[in-house]
């Protein structure tokens, strides 16, 4: 596996998003199977594993911790704080909570669940409008000084928030949605990250599965799947957005690759400091995703994609309205 750098932190060119193993995409997968799956990903060269206290809550961190405990020093573990979750019961208020004392309590709880003495990247999951970002960065700076956290990250933050945080405690990575399905970060976020030498970790790099070409307007999701509430995944929007998938499929056919591999290769071709974290629970999808590393998109390929995509207006918001209000993008 090729490596890339998020700031000064070296990681595999592709990471593994672990959220879907425990939540969001339907019923949780079998824990024993997922422990084996995560270890298989490591054997195949993956070194960056992404989780959060909110996934479950708590159970995804426990899964990742169990899976990676025997190989802890060979991997980079990223987790997140920032929601108002009771650390004893797991009950959620639905609000954000990045008060410094809460951040530090979350760090201790995450360390226990992850079976480790340090969190390699600690992201603020969503910006808290009630806590100055300087206070958040200061709390992380304290945790770094104590050796409990290695690197500071933000998720779905706006560029001014990033600049203010970075001035207090340098950021290693920013995580936000980015793919051929949603290219919002290109306007302001990517130029800012390049200027500040901060790495970028796109989540949903396959458009929550849409860019694989396996979803159409007739696809039925499990009742607990979050995509049921996403405007972009309404049947009407999916039908309209198939035009985007058709473009990706045409390039995939010509390159002897799959649509998913083209979508990931496109992200990797944007900047050398971009590290996507596709999530899956299926071994054959893991192999397919890792195959994107070997797909080279030429300047002509990228121009062809850009020309075709410029003619397509993706239909539907990427998140429900309440969730969109919690982002800085």
Active site members: 55
Give CA–CA dist 133/130, Å, rounded: 9
- Residue 173, SS3? strand
CB 248 within 8 A of CB 211: yes
- Residue 205, SS3? coil
Nearest Cα to 67, choosing from 37, 97, 90, 106? 37
Phi, psi of 184 (to 5 degrees): -55, -40
CB 18 within 8 A of CB 277: no
Which tokens hold the place of 275? 């590290």
Query: Around Cβ 47, how many Cβ atoms within 10 Å?
Result: 21
């Amino acid at each position: 596996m090729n490596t890339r750098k998020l700031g000064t932190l070296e990681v595999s060119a592709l990471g593994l998003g672990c959220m879907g193993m425990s939540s969001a995409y339907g019923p949780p997968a079998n824990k024993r199977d997922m422990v084996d799956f995560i270890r298989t990903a490591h054997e195949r060269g993956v070194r960056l594993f992404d989780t959060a206290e909110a996934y479950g809550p708590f159970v995804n961190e426990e899964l990742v911790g169990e899976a990676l405990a025997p190989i802890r020093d060979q991997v980079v573990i990223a987790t997140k704080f920032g929601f108002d979750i009771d650390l004893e019961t797991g009950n959620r208020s639905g609000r954000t909570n990045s008060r410094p004392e809460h951040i530090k309590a979350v760090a201790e709880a995450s360390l226990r669940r992850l079976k480790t003495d340090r969190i390699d990247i600690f992201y603020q999951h969503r910006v808290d409008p009630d806590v100055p970002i300087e206070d958040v960065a200061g709390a992380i700076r304290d945790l770094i000084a104590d050796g409990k956290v290695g690197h500071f990250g933000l998720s779905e933050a706006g560029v001014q928030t990033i600049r203010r945080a970075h001035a207090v405690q340098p950021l290693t990575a920013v995580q936000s949605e980015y793919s051929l399905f949603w290219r919002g970060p290109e306007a302001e976020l990517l130029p800012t990250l390049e200027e500040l030498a901060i790495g970028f970790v796109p989540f949903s790099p396959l458009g929550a599965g849409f860019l694989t070409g396996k979803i159409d307007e007739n696809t039925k999701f499990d009742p607990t799947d979050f995509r049921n509430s996403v405007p972009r995944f309404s049947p009407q929007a999916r039908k309209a957005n198939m035009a985007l998938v058709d473009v990706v499929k045409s390039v995939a056919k010509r390159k002897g690759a799959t649509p998913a591999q083209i979508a990931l290769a496109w992200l990797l071709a944007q900047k050398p400091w971009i590290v996507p974290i596709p999530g899956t629970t299926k071994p054959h999808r893991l192999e397919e995703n890792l195959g994107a590393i070997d797909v080279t998109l030429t300047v002509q390929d990228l121009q062809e994609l850009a020309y075709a995509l410029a003619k397509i207006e993706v239909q539907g918001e990427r998140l429900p309205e309440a969730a969109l209000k919690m982002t800085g993008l």
